[in-house]
Structure 1
Amino acid sequence: MLSNTELTGASETHLVTVDGHKLHPAAADAYLTMQKEAVASGLELAIASGFRSLDRQLSIWNRKWRGKLPLLSEQGELLDPSRLTDTEKMHAILHWSALPGSSRHHWGSDFDLYDPRPFQNSELKLRLVPAEYIDSSGPCHKLWQWLTQHAHESGFFFPYARYQGGVAQEPWHLSYRSVSKECQRQLSLETLKDTINSLAIEGKRTILENLAPIKRQYIDTITEDDGWTNIWCG
């Protein structure tokens, strides 16, 4: 069980460093095992993003709210923040970025994976968009196919395998089930409320007024199964 500061990304005392990224020790061990298995299958996998602190998540949120970072629609189209109500702006951010204090990346159990080989000695840049993984011509397609078949063997699953009305589909995002399941159970509405109240976060009033539905739609709604049923594989 994590402390509230660890659970919300305010503390890093529950983490170890692997491949330059901070992870929960159990997730780190499972990742290294999976990495060796991928290499044995002729593939490479690397972490694009592991632990993300509360401060970093807050910075992302505030810059998106202020229009300093792109704000996108569910279809990926650029939005003008000045033309949105605060509630609309909040939902636009939540579709692509977690509410500070609620990110699964705070726990150290979750990380974003990619195949580094196509990006070496190339002008190609990793963008972490579904087409890079799901499209047959995508640079991470072979790795994604392998992960959909074998990640569960090391205890991982895809929490955002499908879009379910909350967070966008993320075929790069893996979660170590035994740790993340307990963290999700532990993350209460009261803990989230206390965290948001403690932050200098843009849209605080709107967030607090909508905190319960935010938790249901964007935090609790994940893909529980290991498969990719009904997902087009390119």
Structure 2
Amino acid sequence: MKNLLFFFIFIILFNCNKNIEAKNTVKAELEHEVEDKVEDKVDAKDEIKIDKDFLLGKFDYKTHLDFIKVDSKLSSKVLFLQKETYVAFLKMHTVAKAEEINLIIISGTRNFEEQKRIWNRKWEKYKNLSPVERAEKIMEYSSMPATSRHHWGTDLDLNNLNNSYFDSGEGEKIYDWLVKNANDYGFYQVYNDKISGRTGYNLERWHWSYLPLASKYLKSYNSQISYDDISGFDGAEYADNLKSIQDYVNGISENAKKFEIKK
């Protein structure tokens, strides 16, 4: 009986390993297929020149050679991303879809002027508050122009802009899949909860950042940008007082910070 029991256990373990190997093989094949399809989308150069205007979002990404329009099937509106970010997302999307997870990009690159329109609209919305309170209210979820990671073409918002959406049903499945798999493709949730003492923006389960590029830009931002560079919109004069660089630009998750250290 013991021998028979051991035999059945061996068969079960053998089949489990086979299933895992098969799944990994399919995943590798899907990723390779995406590479073949999009390899022409990435330029041969290794690095993108990081100048201050780029870091501040003061450029036209629609004509920038390192940016590309997202396929309308993968987005909720006309969007652009950096080519490297887009290729990484395509790999992730292909594997996710094979596992019945549908990832839709609802926000991608936003330049300074686009962020300014969002900011000024909310500034008017909260006009009953004091200037500092207005800025703090907006910065629960929205960045001051010249301080947004969305300027860089490395960050994207997925599926829904409400945290509650990811608490149950399809949203919960999507979020659980991302938590388990997104890092494998370079995407990290930079704005997690604040239990660990993270500063800045509130929890954003929808916001995922492609750190192989974004980490370089954050490092360059911290070395080149000062509060003198944050101007040209309502309430800009409060950026220093609110520590928008220290607490918000650098207010990212510990997991993301560990990636930065490794790099």
**TM-score category, normalised to shorter length:** 0.7 to 0.9
Question: What residue is the counterpart of 1:131 in the other structure?
Answer: 164
User: Aligned-pair distance for 1:194?
Assistant: 4.1
Question: What residue is the counterpart of 1:15 in the other structure?
Answer: 67
Question: What residue is the counterpart of 2:33 in the other structure?
Answer: none
Question: What residue is the counterpart of 1:92 in the other structure?
Answer: 137
CA distance in 1, matches of 2:235, 2:251: 23
Aligned 8 A contact 2:199 2:252 in 1 = no
Two-structure CA RMSD over aligned residues (Å): 1.9
Q: Which has the higher contact order (CA 8 A, sep 6+)?
A: 1
Q: Deviations over 1:145-171 (max 9, x none)?
A: 111100011111100122334101011
Query: What amino acid does structure 2 have at the position aligned with 1:59?
Result: R
Question: What residue is the counterpart of 2:225 in the other structure?
Answer: 191
The number of residues matched between the two structures is 195
Question: What residue is the counterpart of 1:2 in the other structure?
Answer: 50
Bigger helix share: 2
Question: What residue is the counterpart of 1:230 in the other structure?
Answer: none
CA distance in 1, matches of 2:237, 2:143: 17
Question: What residue is the counterpart of 1:61 in the other structure?
Answer: 119
User: Aligned-pair distance for 1:189?
Assistant: 7.4
Question: What residue is the counterpart of 1:214 in the other structure?
Answer: 244
SS in 1 for 2:69: strand
Aligned 8 A contact 1:9 1:52 in 2 = yes
Question: What residue is the counterpart of 1:154 in the other structure?
Answer: 185
Gaps of 5+ in 2: 1-48, 72-77, 257-263
Normalized against structure 1, the TM-score is what?
A: 0.77
Q: Deviations over 1:93-131 (max 9, x none)?
A: 1111001011111100100111xxxxxxxxxxx5x1100
Query: What amino acid does structure 2 have at the position aligned with 1:44?
Result: N
Q: Deviations over 1:133-155 (max 9, x none)?
A: 1x124x42211111110001111
User: Aligned-pair distance for 1:51?
Assistant: 0.3
User: Aligned-pair distance for 1:187?
Assistant: 1.1
Gaps of 5+ in 1: 72-80, 115-125, 227-234
Aligned 8 A contact 1:161 1:223 in 2 = yes
* Superposition pairs of residues 148-187 of structure 1, within 5 angstroms: 148-163=179-194, 164-187=198-221
User: Aligned-pair distance for 1:57?
Assistant: 0.6
User: Aligned-pair distance for 1:193?
Assistant: 2.9
Deviates more, 1:31-40 or 1:87-96: 87-96
CA distance in 2, matches of 1:2, 1:25: 15
2:107 maps to 1:49? yes
Aligned 8 A contact 2:150 2:156 in 1 = yes
Normalized against structure 2, the TM-score is what?
A: 0.69
Aligned 8 A contact 2:92 2:185 in 1 = yes
Question: What residue is the counterpart of 1:109 in the other structure?
Answer: 154
SS in 2 for 1:162: coil
Aligned 8 A contact 1:52 1:105 in 2 = yes
CA distance in 2, matches of 1:21, 1:107: 13
Distance verdict in 2 for CA 1:224–1:23, change over 3 Å? farther
CA distance in 1, matches of 2:211, 2:254: 9
